[in-house]
Amino acid sequence: MKYFITIITSCTFALAANPAFVHGVASGAPMADSIVLWTRVTPADANPVSVSWELSTSSSFTTTEASGTINAQAAQDYTVKVIPTGLTANTSYYYRFSVNGGAIVSPVGKTKTLPSGATSQARFAVFSCANITAEYFDAYAKAAHVGNYDAIIHVGDYIYEYGQGGYVDAEDNFARFGFEPDKECITLSDYRLRHAQYNRQPSLQAARSTAPLICIWDDHETANDAYATGAQNHDPATEGSWEDRVAVALQAYYEWNPVREPLSGNRKEAYTTYNFGDLLDLHILETRLVARDKQLELAPTNAEVGARITEILSSPTLTLQYADTYRLTPPSGLTDVAGITAFSTALGPIVFNELVVANVTAMYSGNRNLLGASQLAWLQGKMASSTATYQVLGQQVLMGNMTMPAELLIELANNAVSPATITKYATPVFKLANGIPLTPTEQAAYDNARPLPYNSDAWDGYGKERETILQTALGLNKKLVVFAGDTHNAWANQLKTLSPTGPGVAPQGTVAGIELATPGVSSPGIEKYFPGQQDILRDLFLGYSPGLKFANLTNRGYLDVTFTPTNVDAKFYFRERNGNEWKIQPISSNDAKALTLGAPTNTTEADADSDGLNDWREFVSGTSSTIADSDTDGVNDSNEFANVLFGLDPRLPNNLQTVLSSVEQRGKDAVVANPSLFNLYTATSIQDLRGKGNLLIQAANNKVSLRLPVEKSSDLDGWSPAGDLFLEFNQSDFPGKQFFRFDSVLGE
């Protein structure tokens, strides 16, 4: 073997020898006579790539219903979308793409047009909140294995914008995947790279290729807690214009998903309706960027409380009113410092509570926009003109009234939750659920809990628009079903009227519909923040939220829903944390008003070839579930699947050339490769090298180089680039499959 090592300050990245389809295929935005077909070509160079496409009713493409060519270009990040028209309603189709005159062919995708007329059934898989650095995308894989869905509905948080440290609780899988780019997404290039990283995942590719995708963003496709004019996770002083950030984030979103451009020409206005014959109309809503007002906080800040106290003290009339109402001693004058201090101290909790009440009143009945007047009127018009059995809302945030005792919520807001407070309110809920009589003290705690909304980012913070929708459904006698996501946990609600106003409206507490909220694919839920207490918190939500009928605060997964003319039958698929099991929780409704919970079941997943890779994973990876080493290269499918992103492929015998090809391609997509890529070639961690990326590069003259970026530090705290280590050797010295192991030390 020939080695030499040198420090250099620049490098070049190898490109794939030929264009490739490393991000899979997808379809979406279905109509009865057309559908969007999507792929992305990873180019060999910066030139446009001619891409051919085919659509057939046969998976073997013995006949072709439609075909054509389109150029993949840098302006669209080499993504392509085609929309074949004149298709037959309620028909399954297969599609594929190819380049280089058919020499390189994409995976085959399956899609389906919408039905028209009499429709007996529609079945959906509903997803939200997929964070690549949190947990694996098992929910996508499971849904792809279950299959037979008429559409896959994604209600947002398809990607997350954070860089390392931005969402620490969702970084359990950081060592495996890292962040691409290695920072928060702000620019067009950033968002494109993040979409590319997510769409390389085999589980996501499998789900997207099995049924048409109907999707809408939530906040993390732009920035956390987004609203029309900004976001919690956007600082104009350092990150520029919010409008500019939204524009590039949406450009990447529209490029990387099989979605249609809005007829209005405004990409924010993505709300639209999908008609599933006479069975249901699915109305996709936009709740972030068009009209949303900034979220209100339940608890006022100290500054807000102080400002109100100052306002009271500056008005003799208000001072006397508060003194009389609350039996306080007012200060004798402007020079009575001790009296002012005592009066202000006494006013503190009074003003705090008044401001909480004012905030809640504004949330429930203030003129606050979530949809905005135009979108709300559009939805009401669609519901009024529809003759379908069900009106289904596909949207992002919880519509049900989710409340907790006021005292407990205030403690949560101040990060000072007392076990005694939890016990005070949890005990009566537990006793009532089990038919145990309450003591007078427990009854008083329950009766005086004063439940308040826990999440002002959801519909609880925009109650007037919610009430309008519920009253509209009741007034039109519609069966209303709402899909939601956002919280990372699973919920099922009866949607009840809360603050009706005006003549002819249903009274408070009238059930207007049901809500089914899908768990997150991988983002952490309440169990991450309150370990060991999620069951108590679940019981508190169930006990104090007026319409809540089911909650799971522990598991990730997805929602499976089947509509028939007489029933809505849902199944929550929950990934168990140990082993290969999935827990299935059925819940149903025969009138879109009442909810019936079935008995949960656990399914132990088969591993027919006993290779440690269960059958649903093998289905996704395309390997054999009956042969433990499908490619007979000496590494079983389970080990290869675990490292497929790093160069190992359980479907192909591995050698240095195939590993190089995979790694080179990954490097090109990511600009710099993921730090965890190095794990393939090492037996132990090399974190002390502080590598910020590495890349195997195929050089000329049958040579191979390994790039190791190196940083320097004088105090082991602040690090700066030192240069790049390159190790070069002759490829011919390594016939067949080879692995590399490096030991590293921190040098001075």
The tens digit of pLDDT for each residue in 187-201 reads 999 999 999 999 999
Higher local confidence (pLDDT), 707 or 652: 652
Mean pLDDT of 424-447: 93
DSSP element (H, E) containing 696: strand 695-698
Mean pLDDT of 674-699: 33
pLDDT category at 717 given cuts 50, 70, 90 is low
pLDDT at 648: 63
pLDDT at 10: 28
pLDDT at 710: 67
Residue 250: both structure tokens together: 């949406």
Tens of pLDDT, residue by residue over 271-280, are 999 999 999 9
Residue 745: both structure tokens together: 């030390």
- Written in H, E and C, the secondary structure of 14-80 is CCCCCCECCCCEEEECCCCCCCEEEEECECCCCCCEEEEEEEECCCCCCCCCEEEEEEECHHHCCEE
Q: Nearest-CA neighbor of 212 among 119, 91, 131?
A: 91
> Residue 678: pLDDT above 90?
no
pLDDT at 494: 98
Cβ-based neighbour number of residue 64 at 10 Å: 11
> Residue 549: pLDDT above 60?
yes
Residue 161: both structure tokens together: 């914008």
Amino acid letter, 435? G
Mean pLDDT of 610-629: 82
Mean pLDDT of 258-269: 96
Query: Which among 90-99, 340-349, 715-724 has the top mean pLDDT?
Result: 90-99
Residue 297: both structure tokens together: 């906080």
pLDDT at 644: 56
How many whole angstroms separate alpha carbon 191 and alpha carbon 180? 9
Cβ atoms of 222 and 190 within 8 Å: the answer is no
Mean pLDDT of 454-459: 95
> Residue 323: pLDDT above 90?
yes
pLDDT category at 643 given cuts 50, 70, 90 is low
> Residue 411: pLDDT above 90?
no
Note the Cα 10 to chain centre separation in Å: 37
pLDDT category at 612 given cuts 50, 70, 90 is confident
Mean pLDDT of 567-579: 89
Note the Cα 487 to chain centre separation in Å: 9
Residue count of the chain: 748
Residue 132: both structure tokens together: 């690549």
pLDDT at 701: 52
Chain-wide mean pLDDT for the chain?
A: 86
Note the Cα 691 to chain centre separation in Å: 29
pLDDT at 118: 98
Tens of pLDDT, residue by residue over 493-530, are 999 999 777 667 889 999 999 999 999 999 999 888 88
Q: Nearest-CA neighbor of 599 among 622, 572, 565?
A: 572
Which residues does 369 contact at the CB level (< 8 Å), separation at least 6?
A: 228, 291, 292, 293, 462, 465
Tens of pLDDT, residue by residue over 337-392, are 999 999 999 999 999 989 999 999 999 999 999 999 999 999 999 999 999 999 99
Helix, strand, or coil (residue 242): helix
> Residue 421: pLDDT above 80?
yes
pLDDT at 718: 64
pLDDT at 642: 63
pLDDT category at 719 given cuts 50, 70, 90 is low
> Residue 441: pLDDT above 50?
yes
Sign of the alpha-carbon dihedral angle for 53, 58, 64, 65: negative
Q: Between helices 440-447 and 419-433, what is the axis angle to 10°?
A: 100
Cβ atoms of 50 and 69 within 8 Å: the answer is yes
Cis status of the peptide bond prior to 181, with omega within 30 of 0? yes
Cβ atoms of 458 and 397 within 8 Å: the answer is yes
How many whole angstroms separate alpha carbon 301 and alpha carbon 314? 20
Mean pLDDT of 719-723: 71
pLDDT at 551: 97
DSSP element (H, E) containing 562: strand 557-563
- Percent share of the chain, pLDDT over 90: 68
The CATH fold of domain 26-113: Immunoglobulin-like (2.60.40)
Which stretches of 380-477 are assigned E, i.e. beta strand? 390-394, 403-404, 452-453
Mean pLDDT of 40-47: 91
Helix, strand, or coil (residue 429): helix
Residue 322: both structure tokens together: 């508060």
How many whole angstroms separate alpha carbon 507 and alpha carbon 441? 32
Which stretches of 438-489 are assigned E, i.e. beta strand? 452-453, 479-484
Dihedral pair phi/psi, residue 434, rounded to 5°: -110, 15
Q: Is 670 exposed, middle or buried (0-12, 13-18, 19+ CB in 10 A)?
A: buried
How many whole angstroms separate alpha carbon 713 and alpha carbon 501? 66
Q: Between helices 316-326 and 337-365, what is the axis angle to 10°?
A: 80
pLDDT category at 730 given cuts 50, 70, 90 is low
Residue with tokens 């190095």: 678
How many whole angstroms separate alpha carbon 216 and alpha carbon 156? 6
The terminus-to-terminus CA distance of the chain in angstroms comes to 28
> Residue 671: pLDDT above 70?
no
Residue with tokens 């007002």: 293
Query: Which among 73-87, 403-417, 519-533 has the top mean pLDDT?
Result: 73-87
3-state helix, strand, coil in the chain (%, to 5): 30, 20, 45
pLDDT at 95: 98
Q: Which residues, in sequence order, are bridge partners of residue 514?
A: 481, 494
Specify the pairing of strand 122-127 against strand 151-154: parallel
What b/e string do you get for 716-730 counting C-beta neighbours within 10 Å, with b at 16 or more? eeeeeeeebbbbebe
Return the domain boundaries, the chain. 26-113, 302-365, 609-733
Helix/strand number for the chain, H first, E second: 19, 31
Tens of pLDDT, residue by residue over 144-180, are 999 999 999 999 999 999 999 999 999 998 887 889 9
> Residue 729: pLDDT above 70?
no
Residue 44: both structure tokens together: 């060999």
pLDDT at 603: 84
Cβ-based neighbour number of residue 545 at 10 Å: 21
